[in-house]
Amino acid sequence: MLAKPLAFTHTVTERFLRYVLIDTQSDPASPTCPSTEKQKNLGRMLAAELQAMGIADAHLDEHGYVYATIPATTDKQVPAICFCSHMDTSPDCSGANVKPQIVKNYQGGDIVLRPDIGPIGGLQGGRVEVPVIRTADHPALADQIGHDIITTDGTTLLGADNKAGVAEIMDAAQFLMQHPEIKHGTIKILFTPDEEIGRGVDKVDLKKLGAAFAYTMDGESAGCIEDETFSADGATITIEGVSTHPGFAKGKMEHAIKIAAAIVDRLPKDTCSPETTEGKEGFLHPIGISGALEKASIGFIVRDFTDEGLKEKETLLESIVKGVMKDYPRSTWRMEVTPQYRNMKQVIDRHPEIVDYAIEAIERAGLTPVRGSIRGGTDGSRLSFMGLPCPNIFAGEHAFHSRLEWVSRQDMEKAAETIVHLAMIWEERA
């Protein structure tokens, strides 16, 4: 559907370039919420900027969540909708001392992140790896001709995951506050900590938030709307071996570490792993092994788009363990499975208008909608099962969790416009 263009004076890029300078890396080893106090530095800035827009209730709570409400501008009874992004960056790559740089009017080809260093030098005359975003590895660059591409200098991640989403929501919020003539219902804003370590909604107060439906702004390519995620379990195999003095161990010792290694060795080689699957295929993935002679454990994550697929992979794991343990008759084992999150499609399909309105908003922003699935989870996965149905809309972020992360200025602007159109559509349909 063609829509009248919004008279947007965008602030999204300026905001984004400021937000990425704040180190907000989360820490899975920390028991606190937020896991790192430095996440609150960005939270305080966002709350202050929202208040400066005239959003009186904007605040950062003790757990590191930012809440805010844009009041309705209509007399209609419109469901309150929330836009959500996370403030933390991944522990996989440093987010400190980010140095963003902009490739203006990109005309194709590889992007060299540090053209100031040559291929030779550094470590005793050894070769230095020059960070390059290669078109062969990043086919999405083909859609970015003429765009302004924001990257790092190749020494840190960028933080587009998910500060692009944060900046887009802030840009849209400012536009709505400056244009009260645009009709919309109550808009809720939520910025969360610790999404990257799976704890993004652990302390969220949904009653205080007061939204009926929500959207995370945490997707990749422009135009994408994702209403499906993996379902996820964790599995732990614990092995109790047989210990004896190594000098007198023949025929007696059953080494728990070796048993654990044998289990890992018997996992499928050509399928059912992250490195051999794509699309709607799930996997069984060992993430840690620890122990000693007498006792060892292996941690797994299990992923599939259906609950039946999860069960199949857990049954496969159990059969592998039983097969290995036949060779160790005096050792024992146990398997514990812990549910982590479920495919949000199970909830979102009960409310098809959530995705339908998002598709229309993307079209009104001048983009072609692409409906997809996430080979992972989002805050929206858990929010959906907590009673807040929450699909995921594109933020424009690419190559996240890496030094090659990048985002397009134009894609971020389209995401901000999509948010505004979406707010308008909910009011129109009420």
Contact 88, 20 (CB under 8 A): no
Closest CA to 217 of 366, 396, 52: 396
Q: Does residue 116 carry a catalytic annotation?
A: no
Give the tens place of pLDDT for each residue, 301-353. 999 999 999 999 999 999 999 999 999 999 999 999 999 889 999 999 999 99
Specify the pLDDT at position 378: 82
Taking the C-alpha atoms of residue 260 and residue 320, their distance in angstroms, rounded to an integer, is 11
Alpha-carbon span 34 to 30, nearest angstrom: 9
Measure the CA–CA gap between 328 and 211, rounded to whole angstroms.
Answer: 55
User: What is the pLDDT at residue 122?
Assistant: 45
Going by C-alpha positions, the residue among 69, 94, 60, 304 that lies closest to residue 193 is: 60
Q: Are 90 and 401 a contacting pair, CB within 8 Å?
A: yes
- Say which CATH architecture domain 12-229+344-429 belongs to: 3-Layer(aba) Sandwich (3.40)
Return the domain boundaries, the chain: 12-229+344-429, 231-341
C-alpha angle 361-365-368 in degrees, rounded to nearest 5: 85
- Among candidate residues 195, 220, 314, 360, the one labeled active-site is 195
> Residue 198 has what pLDDT?
86
Query: Is residue 406 within 8 Å of residue 396, measured between CB atoms?
Result: no
3-state secondary structure of 23: coil
Rounded alpha-carbon distances, angstroms, from residue 301 to 171, 274, 297, 313, 345:
37, 10, 14, 10, 20
d(CA 47, CA 293): 53
Could you confirm whether domain 231-341 is CATH 3.30.70.360?
Answer: yes
**Are 302 and 284 within 8 A, CB to CB?**
yes
Task: Say whether 49 is catalytic.
Answer: no
CA 195 → CA 49, 176, 179, 180, 277, distances in Å? Answer: 22, 27, 32, 33, 24
CA 25 to chain centre: 13
Residue range 338-392, pLDDT digits in tens? 998 899 999 999 999 999 999 999 999 999 999 999 998 888 989 999 999 999 9
* pLDDT given for residue 130 in this prediction: 83
pLDDT < 50 regions, the chain: 1, 120-124
Query: What are the residue ranges of helices labelled H in 2-98?
Result: 12-19, 39-52
- 246 sits in the region (left: phi over 0; alpha: psi -120 to 50; else beta) called alpha
The answer to whether the 12-229+344-429 and 231-341 domains have the same CATH topology is no
Cβ proximity of 203 and 32 under 8 Å:
no
- Indicate which residue of 23, 88, 220, 314 is catalytic: 88
Q: Which amino acid is at 100?
A: P
Stretch (H or E) spanning 177: helix 160-178
- Contact status, residue 70 vs residue 172, Cβ threshold 8 Å: no
Q: What's residue 418's pLDDT?
A: 98
Q: What is the pLDDT of residue 120?
A: 44
Compute the distance between CA of residue 208 and CA of residue 211 in angstroms, rounded to an integer: 9
Measured CA to CA, the distance from residue 17 to residue 354 in angstroms comes to 31
Residue 341: per-residue pLDDT: 87
Is the Cβ–Cβ distance between 225 and 369 less than 8 Å? yes
Q: What is the DSSP string of 226-244?
A: EEEE-EEEEEEEEEE-B--
* Nearby residues of 256 by Cβ (< 8 Å), 6 or more positions away: 239, 240, 241, 291, 292, 293, 294, 295, 296, 331
* pTM, to two decimals: 0.89
Instruction: Confirm if 425 and 360 have CB atoms less than 8 A apart.
Output: yes
